[in-house]
Amino acid sequence: MSRWQTVMLLTLLGCATLTVADEPQKAVGETTTVDPLAREKAKSAEFFQKLDAEEGVRKLPSGLRIRMVHEGDGASPSSTDMVRVHYRGTFLDGKEFDSSHKRGQPARLSMTQVISCWTEGLQLMKTGGKATLYCPSEIAYGDSGRPPAIPAGATLMFDVELIEIVNRAVAPAMP
């Protein structure tokens, strides 16, 4: 029996795995594991490289990318305001992980209690505006994610509509 036939037989019996020709040869029964964090980071890097070439996408020093869908005409929130928003959160593959629309009502959120991607992105919007925020893991949930809903190192996309600033943070009065 040839080596190829032996490998095929062992594979069919579940005793070995086939290897791709350009992978290093492994011992019979040895499998390859890919670090999930490394896989997410690689997918994100490829995604952002393509996104950065698209017209209408603004890249900020933090890594946030934002695409304005509709410019609002109201005020912009500060980093300490409370806002009311409608949003839809998805992964790079388009799978939805959260949506205020599905809950049937806008979310009321404190800008101090959201991921930094949101804090930065919403401050660039005006009330009545809609935007897509592209959040690399470094300004979302980081390398640990938020299991089981958000995997480690995940880049997140949010379609956000800034409905209103509910509470404007008031600066302390000067003595």
Q: Residue 108's domain is classified under what CATH number?
A: 3.10.50.40
Residues belonging to the chain: 175
- Contact partners, residue 142, CB within 8 Å, separation at least 6: 152, 153
Mean per-residue pLDDT over the chain, rounded: 86
Q: What's the pTM value of the predicted model, to 2 decimals?
A: 0.79
In a domain, 146, yes or no: yes
Instruction: Tell how strand 57-59 and strand 107-110 pair up.
Output: unpaired
Residue in the block written with tokens 């997918």: 43
Overall number of domains in the chain: 1
Q: Would the pLDDT of 2 be above 50?
A: no
C-alpha–C-alpha distance, residues 43 and 93, integer Å? 10
In a domain, 175, yes or no: no
Domain that holds residue 140: 57-167
Q: What is the mean pLDDT of residues 51-59?
A: 98
- Contact of 157 with 133, CB cutoff 8 Å: yes
- Contact partners, residue 56, CB within 8 Å, separation at least 6: 67, 68
In a domain, 15, yes or no: no
